[in-house]
């Protein structure tokens, strides 16, 4: 089993998109595997699906096959937002007169305002595919998805990279 951990960072409420995906690959037999991906909330469920499909293509080629079929799929969305701690500020004016003994008489007019905290986004989008891989000439090959076409013209670069650290 291969496990890649990639963190997504949040600075001042802005998510940095580089490194917002992680992947697990479980080889279940000589020609089958399970691909699991996790992507940052900004990537959405579509980003999780696209990342899983591209990772399935990479695993197909790394395993010496040419094409694959997705035979099972599952997804999860654990994204939620919580409100960060807020603060209060009070401003006011006081009108009055000083009296002997250190006492003031008069009126005070003040306004207290609540300033909500930043929203904090937690969780991720997950996608899992169970795939069956095919060599040319095997039954089912013609209906299977081409791993090279899935990765596009730079499929060799994707193979060298091995695991996708960004969502698509």
Cα distance from N-terminal residue to C-terminal residue, the chain: 23
The answer to whether the predicted template modeling score (pTM) of the entire model surpasses 0.75 is no
Q: 8 lies in a domain?
A: yes
For 37-77, how does the pLDDT look when each residue is reduced to its tens digit (9 = 90+)? 999 999 999 999 999 999 999 999 999 999 999 999 999 99
Query: What's the domain range around 101?
Result: 83-115
**Residue 88 structure tokens:** 């209060």
Q: CATH no. for residue 68?
A: 3.30.1360
Helix then strand then coil, in percent of the chain rounded to 5, is: 20, 50, 30
Number of domains in the chain: 2
- Same domain assignment for residues 90 and 52: no
118 pairs with which residues across the strands? none
33 pairs with which residues across the strands? 27, 131
Cβ atoms of residues 55 and 22 within 8 Å: no
- Same domain assignment for residues 57 and 6: yes
More confident residue, 96 or 140: 140
**pLDDT reported for residue 17:** 42
More confident residue, 153 or 1: 153
Q: 14 lies in a domain?
A: yes
Asked whether residue 9 carries a pLDDT value surpassing 50, the answer given is no
For CA atoms 32, 129, 126, 156, the dihedral sign is positive
Q: 168 lies in a domain?
A: no
For 117-152, how does the pLDDT look when each residue is reduced to its tens digit (9 = 90+)? 999 999 999 999 999 999 999 999 999 999 999 999
CA separation for the pair 135, 39 (Å, rounded): 30
Q: 71 lies in a domain?
A: yes
- Same domain assignment for residues 88 and 19: no
- Same domain assignment for residues 17 and 59: yes
For CA atoms 61, 63, 69, 72, the dihedral sign is negative
The percent of residues above 70 in pLDDT, for the chain, comes to 85
Q: 68 lies in a domain?
A: yes
Q: 167 lies in a domain?
A: no
- Same domain assignment for residues 87 and 25: no
Asked whether residue 10 carries a pLDDT value surpassing 60, the answer given is no
């Amino acid at each position: 089993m291969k496990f890649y951990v990639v963190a997504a960072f949040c600075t001042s409420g802005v998510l940095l998109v580089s490194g917002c995906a992680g992947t697990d690959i479980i080889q279940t037999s000589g020609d089958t595997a399970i691909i699991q991906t996790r992507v940052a909330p900004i990537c959405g469920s579509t980003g999780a699906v696209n990342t899983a499909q591209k990772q399935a293509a990479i695993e197909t080629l790394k395993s010496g096959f040419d094409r694959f079929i997705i035979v099972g799929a599952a997804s999860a969305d654990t994204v939620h937002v919580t409100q960060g701690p807020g603060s209060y500020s009070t401003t006011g004016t006081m009108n009055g007169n000083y009296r002997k003994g250190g006492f003031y008489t008069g009126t005070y007019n003040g306004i207290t305002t609540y300033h909500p905290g930043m929203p904090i986004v937690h969780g991720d989008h997950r996608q899992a595919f169970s795939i069956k891989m095919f060599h040319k000439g095997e039954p089912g090959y013609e209906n299977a998805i081409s791993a090279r076409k899935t990765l596009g013209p730079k499929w060799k670069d994707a193979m060298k990279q091995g695991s996708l650290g960004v969502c698509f």
